[in-house]
Structure 1
């Protein structure tokens, strides 16, 4: 068998793996996807003629394949506009609506923890640590172990304001360890969001804010629809969902209230148990969540990096 034939066979196998996982990849990404499948096969000592069948029962194999394909690049306060929107719009709305009850937040696909810890830092800077419960979910055990460790290099902190680095981290040689007051704000759990429902918080009612960013982009439409419905179901009444600009839009997969903001498209579950037919799932662009007109460009609020310290 020639090298070209081997490459073609592996490409076809990778396509079958993607279909079995409910994932997708663009034409430019096919080589990377195929290489990832080959690496995982070698690590698990799985023959090509057994791979697809083993995917049906071997959860570790599935997790490692998804981990190898997904891009794990992240950093603190990645997506500054969205964090500013959370601080300026979402958190104040939740505090007013819940009237002193804990604010329940989760980060899905949290990787090594930078995103949920960023949320914990944001809430601490706003004096809300005692009012917030934050959970991080990811499919990768190794990533979660690193997240629980709470130690990062300067690259992960590259977008963090210097005052935040000084206040919330302890230098340890060339690395930085989160202070205990922040590290204990976040709990981490294993989750394959394509196959499992998002676990509800301990308190009844669902999450007030869910971040699921840069994850849906890896899945084909059927999986996106299923995940989108799971995300809707895990929201509290009035709860918010934020995805990434690169993620596919999901306004029709569940009765979301959808709005366009300066931070991109944002989704909500209705604050009251209205029947789906009465929900406006196509809210007009430029209408803000509170019904007011959007701010003009010269009225933009400070991004997270400019929070008063």
Structure 2
């Protein structure tokens, strides 16, 4: 790899080179399992420069030394800064259509005695995905009324989790939603909150947010009936993906569902899921 690093004609505010980038992306991988490609050299600089500015540092070398022990509060700031968080309400809408049309009727038959369902949104970012799941469940069937429904939403980034828990968004983020859905599930801000919306308590009450590193221990109260892990696997290497897929399988109830992102697939892995199409998978009812 070659990249411009503080040479004539390419000036930077802070001293930054390939050695710094390698140290930082190695640290990121060791903690999160996320592979950082060569083309993120400049992205690392732009996202972390504000941290050096806040800390009064002039060289990335010094910042690397600060975060390498993983013990201080700056390490959390480092992970938050480099985490990618792209999401939207009802993104990849076919998953929510399938949840409404197929998964909920399956639960009504299978879970009729317990009247209970558990969903996990793994890599929930700023909360649009788990809130979309909650809205779908609340809209899906009146027979779910009185059920014990809970959605666990986890992410590595503590900053986006704080945003998600607050449930407050720019009005532009809900601009494509139907007016009926907007009226039913969002409060419109006024005065100093003009241009903002807040998710109503009926939706927020279904969701619990928790910080979780997917490659670390999972202190979770499973099993789950449905796991959303969309556009997350793409950041990991093949061995890590395979381990995650196996762990998801084990944490699902027989007949449980796994939804992954539109650019992802399980076809290169030895796995035991049934392929439902459109990046949706199901654990067999009589799972080995």
- Unpaired runs of 5+ residues, structure 1, are 275-309
Q: 1:291 — aligned with what?
A: none
Q: Distance in 1 between matches of 2:35 and 2:256?
A: 29
Matched residue SS, 2:215 = coil
- Tell whether the 8 Å contact from 2:258 to 2:282 is kept in structure 1 after alignment: yes
Q: 2:27 — aligned with what?
A: 17
Q: 1:259 — aligned with what?
A: 275
- Tell whether the 8 Å contact from 1:74 to 1:156 is kept in structure 2 after alignment: no
Q: Provide the aligned length of Structure 1 versus Structure 2.
A: 266
2:256 matched to 1:239?
yes
Residues 226 and 177 of structure 1, relative CA distance in 2, 3 Å threshold? same
Q: Distance in 2 between matches of 1:194 and 1:44?
A: 29
Q: Distance in 1 between matches of 2:180 and 2:276?
A: 32
Q: Distance in 2 between matches of 1:270 and 1:165?
A: 37
2:117 matched to 1:96?
no
- Tell whether the 8 Å contact from 2:225 to 2:256 is kept in structure 1 after alignment: yes
Q: 2:61 — aligned with what?
A: 48
- Tell whether the 8 Å contact from 1:37 to 1:65 is kept in structure 2 after alignment: yes
Q: Distance in 1 between matches of 2:264 and 2:77?
A: 22
Matched residue SS, 1:3 = coil
2:134 matched to 1:120?
yes
- Give the Å deviation of 1:117: 0.9
Q: Distance in 1 between matches of 2:50 and 2:92?
A: 31
- Tell whether the 8 Å contact from 2:80 to 2:158 is kept in structure 1 after alignment: no
Matched residue SS, 1:238 = strand
Matched residue SS, 1:156 = helix
Could you tell me which of 19, 25, 29 is aligned with 2:40?
29
- Tell whether the 8 Å contact from 2:127 to 2:164 is kept in structure 1 after alignment: yes
- Tell whether the 8 Å contact from 2:224 to 2:253 is kept in structure 1 after alignment: yes
Residues 48 and 230 of structure 1, relative CA distance in 2, 3 Å threshold? farther
- Give the Å deviation of 1:59: 7.6
Q: 1:184 — aligned with what?
A: 205
TM-score, normalising length from structure 1?
A: 0.75
**What's the RMSD between the two structures over aligned residues?**
2.8
Tell me the alpha carbon deviations over residues 19-53 of structure 1, each in whole angstroms, 9 at most, x when there is no partner. 42322133433321354455556667897368379
Could you tell me which of 198, 218, 221 is aligned with 1:200?
221
- Give the Å deviation of 1:153: 1.6
Residues 45 and 271 of structure 1, relative CA distance in 2, 3 Å threshold? farther
Q: Distance in 2 between matches of 1:7 and 1:244?
A: 34
Q: Distance in 1 between matches of 2:102 and 2:56?
A: 50
